[in-house]
Amino acid sequence: MFNTPESYIFALGFLLMFGFSILFFLKRKEKSHYNYAFLVTSITALSYLVLFDGNLVENSLLNEPVYYTRWLFYILSCSLLMVTIAKYINSKKENLIPVIILNTLVMLTGSIAAVLYSPMKWLIFGLGSLFFIFQIVLLFEKVKNNNESKLIKKFIYFGWALFPLIFIFAPEGLEIIDNVLAAVLYLLLDFITKIIFYIKISNNKKMPVYIYIIIGLFFLLGLWMAYGYFGSQVEQLKYTVVDTSKEYEIRQLEVHLIAETEVKGGFETATNSGFSIVAGYIFGGNKPKEKIAMTTPVVTEESEKIAMTAPVVTEEDEEFQKLYFVLPSKYTLENFPEPTDSRVKIKEIKGKKIAVLKFSGLYTDEIFEKKKEELKSYLERDGIAYGPFSSAGYNPPWTPPFMNRLEVWAEIQ
């Protein structure tokens, strides 16, 4: 079930790892390393299946899901990787068991730190980092500085050592990047350290063409995500989260201004036709002519432009739908630019409480109706009186569907 944007990445991770586990199984007689490769990718495929299920998670202070179970699966997969590396570089046999124990401690501390909060989180994280350093020191003790050891060091510096960096910036750490970007980065590193690694040590001269194709697809996906991500970095409507204990979220919206128009048709029609009407106002269809510097995105035009904010909201009203943009917080009823199009109305919305059901993917009338009925059933179950329903979208059209932040709103008492 694609309940979150990152669940699409987890599904991709499962398919990728499962596909390569089959490939490695078929190639296991060619090179002994492929036996370990099959086990490692199979375990990793299972981990992505658990992540996709989405049940074994904790919530961060900002209510972001923390997928701590990935570190538990790394105990098994990375232990097998350590065995592979030890054999490949002829590491001291008596060091293998301590290396595996240290690997287990690294992953356990990572899993524990993921669900703790400062300062204990960072103490545990630091302890795990020390275990990782000791593990590498033992692994390379008295190992010759040959081509094999140099290759492994490259994977350590540009692969395994980067996992802690993602942890620091992800929701389980400082919450600088969101779960979608973290999931993509983790998947990229899993691909490098568990697939490219085994193919490289089994065929040291050159990589198969299909690996370069997959790397190219990852690169294109990264560009697409970056395009959608940076295009979505605009000022957003301010609110306070009141409750997250149910399948939906309760928010208290602050007072804000909106630029609204009314069109006939369904939600999809309102989004398409209403958007262009209100966008005309946002992109200069107003009486002031002076140029002004604007917030993200920054736009400079001959006539005044108003910085677009998220969300773009479509409100239900029988045969007609009301589509509106939230104006930037610097505007008030005293200083907002007056529209030149009579179909655009500026209104002040008093602070109100709403119930919110979040989802991602593509948006259609059918999907909205399904999500609306789902939210309605939750509210009726909980005995909460509700008013009109609205749909809210936070991303530009070019955003990858799995990154789309879509919501159904219901005003509540």
- Highest CATH level, class, for 239-412: alpha beta
Tell me the mean pLDDT per 10 residues along the chain, length 413: 74 91 89 91 94 74 72 92 92 92 94 83 94 93 87 88 91 83 90 91 74 80 76 77 87 85 70 76 72 27 43 57 80 86 86 87 80 91 87 79 82 83
Helix (H) or strand (E) holding 375: helix 365-381
Residue 148's CB is within 10 A of a number of other CB atoms, namely 16
Query: Could you tell me whether strands 249-253 and 239-243 are parallel, antiparallel, or unpaired per DSSP bridges?
Result: antiparallel
Q: Do domains 5-231 and 239-412 have the same CATH topology?
A: no
**In CATH, what number does 5-231 get?**
1.20.1070.10
- Which residues partner with 386 through β-bridges? 412
Give the pLDDT confidence score for residue 296 in this predicted structure.
29
Give the pLDDT confidence score for residue 374 in this predicted structure.
92
Cβ 192 vs Cβ 229: under 8 Å: no
Q: Write the DSSP string, 377-405.
A: HHHHHTT--EEEEEEEE-S-TTS-GGG--
- In this structure, what are the phi and psi dihedrals at residue 350, rounded to the nearest 5 degrees? -70, 160
Alpha helices, DSSP H only, in 163-312? 163-169, 179-191, 197-202, 209-231, 267-269, 275-282
Q: In 3D, which of 81, 79, 147 has the Cα closest to residue 108?
A: 79
Largest CA distance in the chain: 81
In residues, how long is the chain? 413
- Which residues partner with 241 through β-bridges? 251
Domain locations in the chain as residue ranges:
5-231, 239-412
Instruction: State pTM to two decimals.
Output: 0.67
The contacts of residue 375 (CB under 8 Å, 6+ apart) are 248, 355, 357, 389, 408, 410
